[in-house]
Structure 1
Amino acid sequence: MNNKKARAPTRTELVCKALEDEIFGGDLLPGARLDELSLASRFSVSRTPVREALHQLSASGLVEVRPRQGAVVARITLRRLIELFVVMAELESLCARLSATNMTEDERCQLLESCDACGAAVAQDLGMDAYYQANCRFHDAVYEGAHNSVLAELISGLRRRGEPYRRKQLARPGRMAVSQAEHWTVARAIVKGDADAAAEAMRCHVMVQVDVIGELLPMLPSGVDE
């Protein structure tokens, strides 16, 4: 089991997470202006991490930059979310399929270590943030194991857009325990070299976001349009 301590979040990550929480919590409503200087003062940081955080939130679709207005909280459509998760499910499924044949032995070890880390986060009740960090390690291991740079580029852009919503669905009771079990199903298939099983297991794992979208609606910003 990997006993490495989780790294401390950067200022950018702290600001990004705080703004995400406020958007999801309804404290920042769609159309609300996000002024860099005001946010920097509020979070006691320079404008650089604020600017970087807003850039990340823009990439994820939570924030949009408007001419002469700067950054504002975006309005999200439910259809857009579903389409995003469906595409991600297929791309990650392909990653798992390729990883089953392309992963090196060292990469397989890293994959299994990430599964151990997810299991430890659940067993030790370390909380959603710790689990999500381990969860990202797992998915990163699968992306890297595919050894396909074009696929990696496609996933990188889409992943950031869906990240806040993937994080949010982990807050459902019992979801982290089920998620880490799903990781093991994917990992075992990859290690065995069973490309079909790995692809199907990963597709089902990611499609959970679509299956529970109705349950997530109360947790999403009031700016989510049906």
Structure 2
Amino acid sequence: MQPTPSPRSQGDSSRSRAEAIYAQLKDDLFGLRLMPGDRFSEGELAERMRASRTPVRQALHRLEREGHVEVVSRSGWRVRAFDFTRLEELYEICIVLELEAVRRLGERPAAEVSPLLDQLGRTWLVAPERRLKDGQAVSRLDEGFHRQLLDAAGNGEMARLHADVSERIRVVRRLDFTQAARVTLAYEEHGKILGALLTKRNEDAQRLLKAHLEVSKAEVRTITLHMLHSARPRDLPARQG
């Protein structure tokens, strides 16, 4: 006779399932498989995830607290529309944190920061023919570039705050990299920032980094419905908002 699972083990299993569903939905949001305005029900998600409604509801409420989705009926949900003012404010936080990180890097001995800069250089300081062309792959490298600057600054709380903010603007960043021109600019602008850091031109590095981030911030206001739906993976049907 099989032992009956304890209430604690059942609770742990439910939390684990909710965590997995949360991660999958977040990946759908950041991968543009779920777009602003898309509607869905808990039942639809439960069927797709092959799960009960309880962990689905737990995952959705967590995403609701983070500002990604909103309730539209008793069991209906919708991906929240972009709040452009909020996105610009998040970019401003990134600018403050990253400029401080670069300032700190400029004050550290070259021997301490060279391993990081050499690693970043192998990614960004490459000949044009060796550059990646896939926008989504470059967007992930771009996020890693900015994250590594914060990690190297040596303040764990700054790095954690930056990681949280970066996650909240990830969809916009990925939309930005659907444009081939932005992929090319990413290599050129990151290369200039690294060049200034490698030659200990700290003020130039901060100026170049700020200009780089300001361009991305300005792109927020250019997002259109057409851009969103053009970026949706082609094998998915469009949902009605």
TM-score (norm 1): 0.70
**Equivalences for residues 207-218 of structure 1 within 5 A:** 207-218=214-225
Check whether the contact 2:105–2:153 (CA below 8 A) recurs between aligned residues: yes
Distance 1:34 1:110, change over 3 A: farther
Which residue of 2 is the match for residue 224 of structure 1?
none
Which residue of 2 is the match for residue 137 of structure 1?
144
**Cα drift, residue 149 of structure 1:** 2.5
Which residue of 2 is the match for residue 155 of structure 1?
162
**Cα drift, residue 107 of structure 1:** 4.5
Counterparts of 2:34 and 2:94, CA distance in 1: 23
- State whether structure 2 residue 193 is matched by structure 1 residue 186: yes
- State whether structure 2 residue 178 is matched by structure 1 residue 171: yes
What is the identity, as a one-letter code, of the residue corresponding to 2:215?
Answer: V
**What do the CA deviations read for 1:153-207 (whole angstroms, capped 9, x no partner)?**
3212211111111121111231111111111111122222222112111111111
**Cα drift, residue 106 of structure 1:** 6.1
Of 191-200 and 41-50, more deviation after overlay is shown by: 41-50
Which residue of 1 is the match for residue 118 of structure 2?
112
In structure 2, runs of 5+ residues without a counterpart are 1-19, 230-241
Distance 1:50 1:191, change over 3 A: farther
Which residue of 1 is the match for residue 33 of structure 2?
22
Check whether the contact 1:115–1:138 (CA below 8 A) recurs between aligned residues: no
Relative contact order, higher structure (CA 8 A, sep 6+): 1
Number of aligned pairs?
206
Counterparts of 1:34 and 1:211, CA distance in 2: 34
Q: CA RMSD in A?
A: 3.8
**Equivalences for residues 42-61 of structure 1 within 5 A:** 42=48, 55=62, 59=66, 61=67
**Equivalences for residues 84-123 of structure 1 within 5 A:** 84-102=90-108, 105=111, 107-118=113-124, 123=130
Check whether the contact 2:197–2:205 (CA below 8 A) recurs between aligned residues: yes
Using the aligned pairs only, state the percent identity.
Answer: 19
Q: Which has the larger radius of gyration?
A: 2
Counterparts of 2:80 and 2:149, CA distance in 1: 31
**Cα drift, residue 142 of structure 1:** 0.6
Check whether the contact 1:128–1:171 (CA below 8 A) recurs between aligned residues: yes
Check whether the contact 2:189–2:208 (CA below 8 A) recurs between aligned residues: yes
SS in 1 for 2:34: helix
Of 71-80 and 160-169, more deviation after overlay is shown by: 71-80
Of 50-59 and 183-192, more deviation after overlay is shown by: 50-59
Distance 1:67 1:214, change over 3 A: closer
**Cα drift, residue 58 of structure 1:** 5.7
Distance 1:185 1:117, change over 3 A: same
